[in-house]
Amino acid sequence: MSMSLQPAGTLVDPNPTPDDKSKKKRSLADGELHVDTVYYSPADVDSYDEYGYFDEISSEDENRGTWTGRPDFILSCIGFSVGLGNVWRFPYLCYSSGGGAFLFPYVFFLVTCALPFFLLETSYGQFVSLSPIASWKVCPLFKGVGYGMVIVSGTVCIYYNIILAWTLFYLFSTMQSTLPWSRCDNSWNTPTCIGPGSPLNETEQEKINGTQSSVEFWEHKVLNRSKGLEDFGSIHWSMFWCLSLTWFVVFLCLCKGIKSSGKVVYVTSTFPYMVMSILLAKCMSLPGASEGLKWYLFPKWEKIASFKVWCDSATQVFFSTGVACGSLSTLASYNKFNHMIFRDAMIVPAVDCFTSVFAGFVIFSVLGFMSHTTAKPVEQVVAQGPGLVFIVYPEAVSKMPISHFWAMLFFLMFYSMGLDSQFGLLETVTSAITDEYPNLLRKRRLPFTAFLCFVAFILGIPMIFE
């Protein structure tokens, strides 16, 4: 075989034979590098022949599938990033870390850290078209990073659905004739229960040592707390069925992978914004709402110098955007190879930041209303985490007109936000294992997804004991 030197310095065969494994694709202009072979996404790594060339270009749609449209991907990313932390963690951090001044370090870390990491993770996932474990074929030494991402996502999947089960329990409770956390005559209430209509600043000793009805509903009815860790108790059957239903909903939405979840997110990703807009319009009209917003937004510039504020803002940025856990690269791996990922990588973190601030307006309007009705300062009613969602807010809506409607709207919104995040987490685990064993699992996606949901459900049962 004779070889000749091209102007660009590339050796090529002037008389390629039909048996030549190198398939010519295109040539650039004179003086540029002559491209003898075009390499494609590492997703088709199994299609390489023994010479390192593609024997046949396989179809992405046939092997893994791709999003049917750009909105599918961007809504899935927004749904994954905008989760429970935007509602129950960001507003509290903003309040405790300097109010409006907290937005300065938050936006700083969003722009300097979250955006580059978000772009890096999604662009890499799109390039390799593989999930976190298989994508490290490019450097097997770091394959443990992929395993770590999948383990983290799987672990979060288990306890995340416990929170959704609590939410579903509250949602079903709103369908009763009277909101159960607004009364003190239930079987789980104690003699020192304080109903929403009772003033919390009474001086009687029994009232000072009393417990709010919303707290008793949370601890004695929802969690059904035992006396201690040594008393494991029995299964909380109401919560068992709520957890079962939640996992069944997750399975239905993911049974066909991105083909099914990509359509569900059109509802689950947009519904929370409609509900938050309605709740904000209602909450802004409540007495005391303006006082709550002052505590939320009034800047305390002296806290900017606090190292803790900067740590909290950085933590919240990574926690909220969901970078470095493998889900973003997994979702991006279903994009077409030439998808404009830079545009989406700018939009999603910006929407996530907007949602956090927007949710803060809703939450602190409610806290201001609580402060007004209980005659307590805002700093004594403010809360974060489960206490905000399952104690403070339920008690607040019980004081509103048509309280059932507002409670149902809120818990529907919260459930929808949690489902979106759960889709991304479970898809990470499913895709990672499927990409490792494509011949075995790719055509058995439905039963494999059902198996993973069942295993996660079983592992979550100890969390619903008393």
The string of DSSP codes covering 212-276 is: EHHHHIIIIIIS---SSTT----B-HHHHHHHHHHHHHHHHHHTTTHHHHHHHHHHHTTHHHHHH
CA–CA distance, 312 with 286 (Å, rounded to integer): 31
CA–CA distance, 362 with 2 (Å, rounded to integer): 75
CB atoms within 10 A of CB 261: 26
Assess contact for 236 and 218: CB atoms under 8 A.
Answer: no
Q: Is 224 annotated as a binding residue?
A: no
Q: Is 72 annotated as a binding residue?
A: no
Assess contact for 361 and 296: CB atoms under 8 A.
Answer: yes
CA–CA distance, 197 with 87 (Å, rounded to integer): 26
- Those residues whose C-beta lies under 8 Å from the C-beta of residue 401, and which sit 6 or more positions away, are none
Question: Which DSSP helix (H) or strand (E) runs through 385?
Answer: none
Helix (H, G, I), strand (E, B) or coil at 465: strand
Q: What is the DSSP letter of 5?
A: E
Identity (one letter) of the amino acid at 284?
M
Helices (H), 284-340: 289-297, 307-321, 327-332
- Both tokens of 36, joined, read 């003898």
Helix axes 237-254, 403-436, angle to 10 degrees: 60
Assess contact for 368 and 288: CB atoms under 8 A.
Answer: yes
Q: Is 82 annotated as a binding residue?
A: yes
Q: What is the dihedral of CA 273, 274, 275, 280, to 10 degrees?
A: 80
CA geometry: angle 274, 275, 279, nearest 5 deg: 120
Q: Is 173 annotated as a binding residue?
A: no
Assess contact for 271 and 81: CB atoms under 8 A.
Answer: no
Give the CB-side neighbour count of residue 59, counting CA atoms within 13 A. 4
Q: Is 12 annotated as a binding residue?
A: no
Q: Is 215 annotated as a binding residue?
A: no
Assess contact for 339 and 70: CB atoms under 8 A.
Answer: yes
Q: What is the DSSP letter of 389?
A: I
Beta strands 193-194 and 211-212 are: parallel
Give the CB-side neighbour count of residue 245, counting CA atoms within 13 A. 16
CA–CA distance, 97 with 187 (Å, rounded to integer): 40
| Binding site members for Na(+) | 79, 82, 86, 320, 420-421
Binding residues: 79, 82, 86, 320, 420-421
